[in-house]
């Protein structure tokens, strides 16, 4: 995330219909703005949207959405809606924080491994003098270790991928016992005798 390059965009929906006008008066927009996104590793100037390349879609679905005017331009302030939306946005912020932290950790690990690759030749030369083992063999082992670490760090999924991964449970096999169909007795449908039985 590069600060100042992008600004987050908020798309507001009321009962699946986009609320295009009066965004500054809308509860959904105001609640997004009042969240302190800096706590979640997103740059933000005071009282504005986060400066990050993201689109926040805030949807309010209810039988009675409290609009400010009959034209359904913006959602009016309601304590319960405000509190629930704030909690939902904070949960989203925690997910964003873990994702950004994971990406930063990966970037740090890549940088660290590139430094190891730069100095591996010199370390191999010095270890060769200390141990008496050939320099190429030590260098190959060092590079093998660096590559193994790189593969292990790349394979590590982000926290969101781990959360979304569902445990595969084999479905139990069910055998249905279907009774043999009985032969229907041929009866006339319009007789009184068939109706009484």
For the stretch 160-197, pLDDT in tens is: 666 656 555 565 665 656 565 555 555 555 555 655 65
C-alpha distance from residue 4 to each of 7, 36, 42 (Å)? 7, 17, 11
Q: What is the pLDDT of residue 161?
A: 62
Of 39, 82, 41, 42, give the one whose Cα is nearest residue 58. Answer: 82
Q: What is the pLDDT of residue 8?
A: 87
User: Domains in the chain: how many in total?
Assistant: 2
Q: What is the pLDDT of residue 25?
A: 86
Which are the contacts of 114, defined by CB distance < 8 A and separation ≥ 6? Answer: none
Query: Positive or negative, the Cα torsion across 182, 183, 187, 189?
Result: positive
**Is 68 found in the same domain as 19?**
yes
Give the relative orientation of helices 27-34 and 79-131 as an angle to the nearest 10 degrees. 30
Q: What is the pLDDT of residue 92?
A: 92
Q: What is the pLDDT of residue 110?
A: 85
Residue 3 lies in a domain: no
Helix/strand/coil for 178: coil
Residue 36 lies in a domain: yes
**Is 73 found in the same domain as 19?**
yes
**Is 72 found in the same domain as 27?**
yes
The domain of 136 spans 106-163
Q: What is the pLDDT of residue 83?
A: 92
**Is 60 found in the same domain as 19?**
yes
Distance CA 86, CA 16 (A): 20
Give pLDDT < 70 ranges for the chain: 1-5, 153-197
Of 80, 93, 114, give the one whose Cα is nearest residue 44. Answer: 93
What pTM was computed for the model?
A: 0.64
Residue 40 lies in a domain: yes
Q: What is the pLDDT of residue 51?
A: 86
Residue 16 lies in a domain: yes
Distance CA 21, CA 163 (A): 36
CATH of residue 40:
3.30.230.10
Residue 188 lies in a domain: no
Of 190, 112, 196, give the one whose Cα is nearest residue 150. Answer: 112
């Amino acid at each position: 995330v590069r600060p100042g390059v992008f600004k987050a965009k908020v798309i507001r929906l009321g009962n699946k219909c986009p609320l295009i006008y009066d965004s500054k008066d809308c509860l959904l927009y105001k609640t997004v703005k009042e969240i302190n996104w800096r706590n979640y590793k997103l740059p933000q100037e005071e009282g504005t949207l986060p400066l990050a390349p993201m689109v926040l879609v805030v949807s309010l679905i209810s039988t009675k959405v409290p609009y400010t005017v009959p034209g359904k331009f913006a959602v009016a302030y309601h304590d319960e809606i405000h509190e629930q939306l704030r909690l939902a946005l904070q949960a989203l912020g925690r997910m964003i924080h873990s994702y950004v932290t994971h990406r930063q950790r990966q970037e740090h690990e890549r940088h660290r491994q590139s430094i190891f690759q730069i100095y591996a030749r010199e370390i191999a030369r010095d270890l060769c003098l200390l141990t008496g083992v050939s320099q190429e063999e030590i260098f190959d082992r060092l590079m093998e270790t660096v590559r193994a670490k790189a593969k292990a760090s790349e394979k590590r999924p982000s926290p969101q991928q781990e959360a979304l991964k569902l445990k595969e449970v084999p479905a139990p096999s069910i055998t249905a016992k279907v009774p043999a169909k009985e032969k229907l007795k041929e009866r006339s449908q319009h007789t009184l005798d068939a109706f009484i039985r």
